[in-house]
Amino acid sequence: MKTSRMGSNQVSPLQAGSRSTMAALVLASLALLAAGCVVDGDAVEYMDQSFVTDGFHSVDPPEVTPGPSCHVDRYHQPDAQITRKIDILLMVDTSGSLVEERGGIADGIDAFVGALPSNVDFRIGVMTGHSSGSSWSGKLYRKGGSFPYVYDSQTMDLATIRTKLHTTLTLNMPNDNSADGGEEGMVSMNRALDDDRLALAKGQGFFRDDAALAVVFVSDENDICAIFPAGVTPVVDPQGIENVAHVRDCNRMAPAKMDGTTVIAPAHQETITADLVVAKLKALKGDMPLVVSAAVYADPATVPHVGENEVGYGLLDMAQIAHGVVIDLATGQYSDGLASVGTLASIKMNLQTDFVLTNANVDPNTLQINVDGVGTAGYDYDSEVNTVQVSHPGGPLSTIDISYCEQAPPPPVVGGVDTSCSAGSFAAKSQTKVGMTSDPAEGSQTTILTGLGLIGVTPTVYTDSQIIAGVPQADGITIMIVARKAVVTPVTAAWVTAIRALAISGVSILAEYDGGALVFSQFNGLNAAFTGHMPPSLALFDGNAAGGGLLLPVSASAMNVTDHSDPLMAGISANTVTSGLRTAFAITNFNSDWLHPSASFTSTGFSNLVPAGTFPAVMSGRCGGGRVAIVMMNQLQALSSSADVRTLFSNSFHWLAGQ
């Protein structure tokens, strides 16, 4: 249910009902809870705490820190019922194993109706959980010509409704072998909300615009479109029908949604899930109350191990998403459970529970809900529809104040830079704690560690399994060296994910040689020795890495300083740093406004190992709260032989730490 915001002194115009009716509902709800029905936690709060009987409390809005991005929305509960009309839909599994339970649901309809407001105008319809191959899918079902599609309390007494409903649900219901007996309640419900089926049902007197809606799904198995929780293995289907039905029906081309001749939503592919079906039911009812419940096996420990009985995943999920009632078939207490559904429907027919916020872009962490001046943590916020659902929304004329602040505007989109890297700002490191990830099989790890020792850096070397397990985070690493990782062995997706997480969390990265190539997104024109080693990559920045081979002659392996003012080049007075034969990657198509090149190298294109041309040798930039220094030549091996290279890396560590 979505509720429009009311002004600070406005009262909702929704009408009908009395406080005495609500007080009676309180007593009824407490009695039902004592009977031990299985009810969703938020539904318990609705029934247990929704009503106050000591009148309206005048309260002041809660204090909120002044500012253009913080707000208080005030709402008032009506002094009367929202509606006296309710449509009750029974969506049933038609398999023969469920005849007794369906009969129990029919017999328990008295308890459901007895919990509704007095003089309620109710209608009952039945649908079958049939597949796309059944003519009954998404249609109201009747037993025959002497049975109505809709049982109407205005034209039939309750005893007649109960008798005919019992016959309808127990005597030779149509089967659907292609849905393993009719276990596609989600598919059938979704089909019922298509324009053609909805128009048919409305023409038969159901899905009234001005009525509340209560849907009760009934099944002794999971729905065929259910998503099973992690670690749950479905009960084996000996007929092999369920998997076929899932593939056939749980993804479909949804027809266009129309308003007359206007297309509201074009035809599109959709996957049928519990979230999707509940969202469509909410959209159908708009401001009217909605209760979605399920009569299923709810507890794996109490499912009778007969046939294919199973926890009602999918249907159970819908009831929980909508904060409805779950009637556990294992208890056999159908009347008590249906009375709970009726009580919850009554509460929603008397009170507003869903409130659409005035302002969008809400920071959920700032939400505070006050009901008659008392704070409550019992609420859900749906960002897609900008709606707060309050679990215990007070009583008649209660005041609901919802305070919140808007989220900070998103960071500007920076071309060629991962959004996580462009967000935030650099945070200086309280200590310089260096880690290193490399492939020992490449052969230069010992030489690199010896050279790093000459500038006072002793990194902790991590294995891939330690990286993936998050050990560097636990150790408090602030700078991670990524070098010599893809020379011999391809990188793995799990390693890439872990290093990306480090960078995005604010750890600074020193990326050298193949590590420098790995921070980019594309690899066209690689040295054949690296083919297949680099995708996946860290992809922190757009750019293409080519080459990865020798620079010949020796004069071409020099690094040319192009920006002596760059902090990585401080103390390097020469324009050219020569440190012997080198290999390198050529980087092109990167954002030079974000990544600043401070040195370059020139390639003759010898044997096509590196493309001919001049390319960055050293670049630097930011990624989130960290920094990135990228050295495209394999300079770490030259630490022991070149004072200029030692200066370069010493500068790099100081800059990466913010010192």
In angstroms, the CA 300 to CA 235 distance is: 11
How far is the CA of 98 from the CAs of 92, 95, 222, 337, in angstroms?
A: 9, 6, 13, 17
What CATH number is given to the structural domain containing 435?
Answer: 3.40.50.880
Residue 232: other Cβ atoms inside 10 A: 14
In a domain, 601, yes or no: yes
Residue 62: other Cβ atoms inside 10 A: 15
Q: Assess contact for 404 and 427: CB atoms under 8 A.
A: no
Q: Is the peptide bond before 553 cis (omega within 30 degrees of 0)?
A: yes
In a domain, 2, yes or no: no
Quick: pLDDT tens for 578-612. Answer: 876 788 999 999 999 999 999 999 998 888 889 99
In a domain, 6, yes or no: no
Q: Which residues contact 457 (CB under 8 A, 6 or more apart)?
A: 434, 649, 653
Let me know whether 278 and 398 are in one domain. no
- From 274, 298, 330, the end of a domain falls on 330
Q: Which residues contact 94 (CB under 8 A, 6 or more apart)?
A: 128, 129, 130, 173, 174, 175, 176, 181, 182
Let me know whether 71 and 98 are in one domain. no
Let me know whether 321 and 447 are in one domain. no
In a domain, 338, yes or no: no
Which range of residues forms the domain containing residue 437?
419-657
In angstroms, the CA 296 to CA 217 distance is: 8
How would you label 560-590 residue by residue, b for 16+ Cβ within 10 Å and e otherwise? ebbeeebebbeebeeeebebeebbbbbbbeb
Let me know whether 324 and 470 are in one domain. no
Please name every residue paired with 510 in a beta bridge, in sequence order, or none if there are none: 481, 629
**For residues 262, 264, 270 and 272, what is the CA-based torsion angle, rounded to 10 degrees?**
-110
Q: Which residues contact 391 (CB under 8 A, 6 or more apart)?
A: 42, 45, 46, 49, 323, 353, 376, 378, 379, 380
Phi, psi dihedrals of residue 213, rounded to the nearest 5°: -135, 130
Which pair of structure tokens corresponds to residue 16? 């009908």
Phi, psi dihedrals of residue 566, rounded to the nearest 5°: -65, 135
Quick one: pLDDT at residue 171? 93
**Residue ranges in the chain whose pLDDT is less than 50:** 1-36, 45-58, 66
Let me know whether 368 and 430 are in one domain. no
Let me know whether 442 and 371 are in one domain. no
Q: Which residues contact 611 (CB under 8 A, 6 or more apart)?
A: 525, 546, 547, 586, 603, 605
Quick one: pLDDT at residue 370? 94
Total structural domains in the chain? 3
Q: Which residues contact 621 (CB under 8 A, 6 or more apart)?
A: 541, 594, 595, 596, 627, 628, 630
Let me know whether 581 and 599 are in one domain. yes
Let me know whether 65 and 95 are in one domain. no
Quick one: pLDDT at residue 38? 55
Let me know whether 315 and 187 are in one domain. yes
In a domain, 304, yes or no: yes
Phi, psi dihedrals of residue 332, rounded to the nearest 5°: 70, 5
